Amino acid sequence: MHPDAPSLPGAPGLWMHCSDNDLSKKDMRLIVRVKATSPTLWQYMGQYDVQRSDPLSLQEWTMQSEQVWSSYHFLIQFIVIGAF
């Protein structure tokens, strides 16, 4: 879901989110899936300071990978709209 999330503990990363629900806490524990095939493998990356940024421009959005587009299509269709 977050292909630009940190790949090493303490490393910077990009976390895109569609609502303000999870941004009430600025300090968040980040756990990232590092292996998707069975058995899956997750790694604790650390405590991260989350900061809100401006929405992506159309140009920034079109620069995202197809994996990001697919993830957010699913998120908006099934979670935000409530079809899930």
In the chain, where the domains are located: 21-80
**H or E, element range at 67:** helix 66-74
**H or E, element range at 33:** strand 27-35
pLDDT of residue 51: 75
Give the rounded percent of residues in the chain with a pLDDT score beyond 90: 1
- Is residue 82 scored above 60 in pLDDT? no
Give the rounded percent of residues in the chain with a pLDDT score beyond 70: 71
- pTM comes to 0.54
- Is residue 81 scored above 80 in pLDDT? no
